[in-house]
Chains A and B, each alone.
Chain A
Amino acid sequence: MVHRIVRKRPLIPGRTSELVIYAPHIAAKARPGNFVILRVHDKGERIPLTIANVERNDGTITLVYLVLGKTTALLDTLHAGDAILDLCGPLGKPTAIRRRPAPVVCVGGGTGIAAMHHIAKGHRLAGNMVIGIIGARSKDLLLFEPELRLVCHEVLVATDDGSRGRKGLVTALLEERLAGEGRVAEVLAVGPVPMMAAVSEVAGRFGVPCQVSLNAIMLDGIGMCGACRVTVGGETRFACVDGPEFDGAKVDFRELSQRLTAFRPQERHAYEELEKSHVCRCAN
């Protein structure tokens, strides 16, 4: 099975792009909250990426990545027509989506906004009232806002510098919404760990259940290795098969942040070596 890139669209030049990939057998089964594991060359490592969208009729899935290390940098050298060497999925438990009497608030930060899009879309298709709250450091780093406006009833934006929407953090917008009139059934958060921790804290304060999608380090993605283990309510769970979504009130975010640094020196080294060898194909 060859997984060809159908379309590539830069979202933040040089940092973040969207790939639409032909993978009908994954598209047929992928549900909101699922992720894939991919490898881009024959000596490459396996990395997990959350599925940002699925077009079942076209047999495509959409992935959005931030260039953060060697594998994403190499992924970024691929273009429409190129194939992803290994693409495995859909993995993880899908988001628990059911009909809700009150709105669902989906909070996204950074690249997590794209991952959150698929979840918000799932809630919308289930007939729920969906409110999106998204944030980034500045307007230029904000992505997927138009896509979210298509699936959310309302989209609230916050930027650190105030260049778009409210100046400040997504948590401030969430807090206002939760403090305001009308009940909220559930909060979902996808993004950087500190953001998810803060969102969980705010939701908890208002007694609203909050699900977070955890981006733990993974190897096989099918429960074999335990690299992605997280402590949830005092118990060890595997993000790849028990998650990636967990009750934010119970997640040990500090431990998760620490575990994410396990291979930081190696990751940095690999990225620097790559930059030295310069595999950039920007010319085409």
Chain B
Amino acid sequence: MPTRSWKKAMSAAAPTEPSRIRPPRTAMPEQPAGQRVGNFDEVALGYTPDMARAEAVRCLACKKPGCVAGCPVGIDIPGFITALAAGDVPRAYAVIRRANSLPAVCGRVCPQESQCERGCVLGLKGEPVAIGRLERYVADTFMADGACAVLTGAAACPPPVAKTRVACIGSGPASLTVAGTLVTRGIAVDVYEALHEPGGVLVYGIPEFRLPKAVVRREIAALKSLCVRFFTNWVGGRTVMVPELLDQGYEAVFIGIGAGLPVFLDIPGESRIGVFSANEYLTRVNLGRAYAFPEWDTPVYPGRRVVVFGAGNVALDAARTAVRLGARSVSIVYRRSENEMPARAEEIRHAREEGVGFVCLHAPVAFGGDAQGRLASVRLQRMRLGEPDASGRCRPVACEGAFCEIEADIAIVAVGTRANPLLPRSTPGLLVNRRGYISVTEATGETTLPMVFAGGDIVTGAATVISAMGAGRRAAEAISRRLLG
């Protein structure tokens, strides 16, 4: 009985009479800013067992949990925290894993403050339970390497249903969720990835200091141990086509290829050497491990003055990466004010601590440079906030005649991404919307092609890891209903 074990845990952790004043939220140990700017190691170090226990017993195990309602994949959050408080980490892992294939990833990169933790009743008067940190603790402490028993409750994974195979194109969070869900139901899954390493945005996009590659590798190894097969260097729409996969005997295909095409500013001088898309800069450093050049072969250069355009998580990742590569100054330039910044508050705090500067209410108008085509400066225009636009944020309005020039030898454009047309264009009958994103039935993720599903950024446009996983989850449910009845 969860309630009883929770009470037991409570009394064990707090021998004195539980007071009505909850203990404060347990702080996450972090690498000090002065130290972490010199390395690519993870910033947040993770809870110790004592910290995890102390935080877990803060949970009230509400009957109508607001946290679960806020979770895009609907993890039984009180369930796993109760198990954790009772010291049963494997059970806590099993509870999480029932709804979430990548807990070690989500515990690190989910915007919990606007999801589960926002729904936490403790947050009404004080600080919510640190759900994300607990999820990370559980996943880091216990990994289901081949432990199908933990995931399914059965002694072994259900044997693959004869001839029931599903292909996933792309190996980011959406596809990994589809694979992780289907494989525990006896459906064999093959994942086709265009790059040389599986993981999608988790590998090429999110930096090591926020999400160590070892964590992603471990999640993928866990899937491999459940007989998910990964094929790298297979490009959907080039090496392999959707209709071919269906012809080859896959009963369903899931398209989770992300929204990988970078958006540029389309202003003069943007082709100068030193102007990078955030995708290029981060892919060099993350997938190519350019921070370890020349031990690793992919090059990047540190830059003395780095300017980043945009203020989302990707922009912050790029800025903090530049700091670690040794740039003398790194600035975020954003055309709205600080209140409108889309990045997580924690990212902004971390970036500030690491010395990243913020230049708000400025927009780039041109890149300047030398005769060799190298970037030397960026011309900015002052902006002010106007009326709110469709997104509810105040629209930036240019202040006429108010220009300034700042020095920069690296400029990183992080103002969003678009759909990559490579696969849709090579898939006859696959309907996409005006912006190139794949049209699906929302509840199932099914596309206009029978038994072809899609989810994640290629459907919604750039969003979060967890929303892609939510879409993967819905598609996996629909696929398994369809295939297994």
Contact = CB atoms under 8 A, between A and B. Distances in A.
A209 interface: no
Interface string A29-50: 1000000000100011110000
User: Which one of B233, B238, B262, B277 has the highest number of Cβ atoms from chain A below 10 Å of its Cβ?
Assistant: B233
Interface string B320-360: 00000000000000000000000000000000000000000
Contacts of B240: 25
A43 B273 contact: no
A25 B283 contact: no
B164 interface: no
Contact of B266 (A90, A220, A236, A270): A236
B238 A43 contact: no
B70 to A, nearest CB: 31
B283 A224 contact: yes
A270 B194 CA distance: 26
Contacts of B376: none
Contacts of B271: 229-231, 236, 252, 255, 259
A181 interface: no
Interface stretch (B60-68, B212-220, B286-294): B286-294
A1 B231 contact: yes
Contacts of A90: 238-239
Contacts of B127: none
A107 B193 CA distance: 36
Nearest to B258: A224
Contact of A88 (B196, B264, B274, B277): B196
Contacts of B231: 1
Nearest to A230: B271
Contacts of A227: 276, 280
A284 interface: no
Contact of A43 (B204, B232, B235, B295): B295
A223 B261 contact: yes
Nearest to A3: B233
A70 B194 CA distance: 24
Given A88-B196, A224-B261, A241-B422, A219 B280 contact: yes
A263 B297 contact: no
Given A89-B239, A91-B235, A226 B277 contact: yes
Interface string B221-238: 000000000011111001
A176 interface: no
| Interface magnitude class on chain A | 35 or more
A219 B238 CA distance: 17
A152 B204 CA distance: 43
A224 B235 contact: no
Given A39-B196, A261-B273, A262-B273, A45 B233 contact: no
Contacts of A265: 301
Interface string B249-292: 00000000000111010100011011011011001100011001
A70 B231 CA distance: 27
B464 interface: no
A45 B299 contact: yes
B298 interface: yes
User: Which one of B262, B283, B299, B372 has the highest number of Cβ atoms from chain A below 10 Å of its Cβ?
Assistant: B299
Interface in A216-268: 219-220, 222-227, 229-231, 236, 241, 252, 255, 258-259, 261-263, 265-267
A29 B239 contact: yes
A231 B288 CA distance: 26
Contacts of A225: 262, 277, 279-280, 283
Contacts of A252: 271
Interface string B173-212: 0000000000000000000001110000000100000000
Contact of B239 (A25, A44, A71, A236): A25
Contacts of A258: 273, 372-373
B420 interface: yes
A72 to B, nearest CB: 11
B281 to A, nearest CB: 9
B373 A70 contact: no
Contacts of A29: 238-239
B122 to A, nearest CB: 41
B372 A86 contact: no
Interface string A1-14: 10000000000000
A43 B289 contact: yes
Nearest to B263: A226
A85 B232 CA distance: 11
A25 to B, nearest CB: 6
Nearest to B423: A222
Contact of A89 (B238, B284, B298): B238
A129 B205 CA distance: 48
A153 interface: no
Interface of A: 1, 25-26, 29, 39, 43-46, 70-71, 85-91, 219-220, 222-227, 229-231, 236, 241, 252, 255, 258-259, 261-263, 265-267, 269-270, 273
26 contacts: A25-B239, A43-B296, A46-B288, A71-B297, A88-B195, A88-B234, A90-B238, A91-B235, A219-B280, A219-B288, A220-B204, A222-B194, A222-B238, A222-B422, A224-B204, A224-B283, A225-B277, A226-B277, A227-B276, A255-B271, A255-B373, A261-B273, A263-B299, A266-B293, A266-B300, A270-B293
Interface of B: 194-196, 204, 231-235, 238-240, 260-262, 264, 266, 270-271, 273-274, 276-277, 279-280, 283-284, 288-289, 292-301, 372-373, 420, 422
Given A219-B298, A236-B266, 18 more contacts: A29-B238, A43-B297, A88-B239, A89-B235, A219-B283, A220-B195, A222-B194, A222-B420, A223-B422, A225-B262, A226-B264, A229-B264, A236-B264, A259-B273, A262-B273, A266-B293, A266-B300, A270-B294
